[in-house]
Structure 1
């Protein structure tokens, strides 16, 4: 497991490396796609967050090969969060934007391992909670939103229901309890929970979520 930095940014799968769904507002994201500058914008975003806030992601390696990743940041650094119908993110929380495991490593427990690593890092840094926009219908665009069912399975609780984009939260005090309970199993990769990489069409396409009224 390694922190995401500019040195290993290119270890992300091309689909993520070329995606700025979370990092830019919809208007600027569409411009980046049009002008072919999405990779530059992604690198600039990671660089800025690293300088102003610190580590903003994790990459897990299996036998030296990138097998999965997670990205997170303060809500103020994530323009797309302002567009989500179940926003805004709580002021005391960090936003987990995306977390995926490559298909060839599915079933090895890496999804849960990534979640544990995010919890451990943010708890060490004094963060009170993690929030995340889940996808209640995974497998459709955009593919960078974490399936809501997986999030509930690792301890997140729904705080703002929605038919497509529920917002979930984990208090890191509870997260640490959960981490301690499963740590041994995680280290041995004995759990079967993982997040499959979703296949959702052209990597450069950036779509704005439908404006469905929140409950």
Structure 2
């Protein structure tokens, strides 16, 4: 991987992609914004939210950044990010019909990877989040996923509860501000509250990520096999060429 993943500090806010800096889908309750008004400065709202969570709870995100620094000496923009927080700090989470988030879980709210990045970066971000959460004694991660069917629905046809949950806020909408349910299932989450469009999923942290452990174990076995095959082959060739007489003499 050509990037390193580090915890997000408030000083790293400017490194986030533009949409991530302006996205307040999870951080602001849309019902608190009058229908005839809009957020004048969503970037300020997002930074204020991050500051509040970091002050009260600690780091609430990870970012992927290229190795080294930009040519001008400034911090390079991140190529991927993942944000999470205790559910009480996420106003939108209270709106979902598949809630509430479990009391022992931290909510994975959003993540993104910039175009052209190496395959597997999103998975590596999840691993970083899991590692950090386990160190803090968190028992599980949960997330509200977006199913493939959700991309085809007409918002006007949603139930009142569903519509309240995913009400658009500025340029924030569930179509690109929620994590795909299929991705979450692929990295080990399981559905704990089913829904045709917005299921709630959970990843227990008292076990390793199975897919990651299996892949790493398989690679290690291949490397071990490669290391062993060469010496064994050379030893057998040596025995054939000149060691047989010594064996017979013994």
Which TM class, normalised by the smaller chain length? 0.7 to 0.9
Aligned counterparts, 1:67-82, within 5 A: 67-82=79-94
Native 8 Å contact 2:16 2:77 kept in 1: no
Contact 1:161 1:167 in 2 (8 A): yes
Aligned twin of 1:42? 46
> Post-superposition shift, 1:175?
3.6
Q: What is the aligned partner in structure 1 of residue 207 from structure 2?
A: 174
Structure 2 Cα separation of the partners of residues 99 and 66 of structure 1: 12
- 3-state SS of 1:134 partner: strand
1:35–1:151 distance in 2 versus 1, CA, 3 Å: closer
The structural deviation recorded for 1:29 is 5.6
Answer 1 or 2: which has greater helix percent. 2
Q: Which deviates more from structure 2 when the two are superposed, residues 52-61 or residues 63-72?
A: 63-72
Q: Could you tell me how far 1:7 is from its partner in structure 2?
A: 0.7
Contact 2:22–2:43 at 8 Å: present in 1 too? yes
Rounded Cα–Cα distance in structure 1 between residues aligned with 2:23 and 2:34? 11
Residue in structure 2 matched with residue 19 of structure 1 by the alignment: 23
Matching of residue 158 in structure 1 with residue 191 in structure 2: yes
RMSD value, Cα: 2.3
Structure 2, unaligned stretches of length 5 or more?
A: 68-75, 153-172, 220-250
Larger radius of gyration: 2
TM-score where L is the length of structure 2: 0.68
Contact 1:129 1:172 in 2 (8 A): yes
Q: Secondary structure at the match of 1:36?
A: coil
Name the structure 2 match of 1:204: none
Q: Give the whole-Å Cα distance in 1 for the aligned partners of 2:44 and 2:197.
A: 30
Given the alignment of the two structures, is residue 117 of structure 1 paired with residue 128 of structure 2, yes or no? yes
Q: Is the 8 A contact 2:141 2:205 kept in 1?
A: yes
- TM-score, normalization by structure 1: 0.78
1:92 is aligned to 2:125? no
Q: RCO greater where, 1 or 2, for CA within 8 Å and sep 6 or more?
A: 1
Query: Deviation of residue 177 (structure 1)?
Result: 5.6
Rounded to whole Å, the distance in 2 between the matches of 1:16 and 1:30 is 23
CA drift of 1:72 comes to: 0.2
Distance 1:134 1:179, change over 3 A: same
The CA deviation at 1:180 is 4.0
Question: d(CA) in 2 for partners of 1:147 and 1:81?
Answer: 16
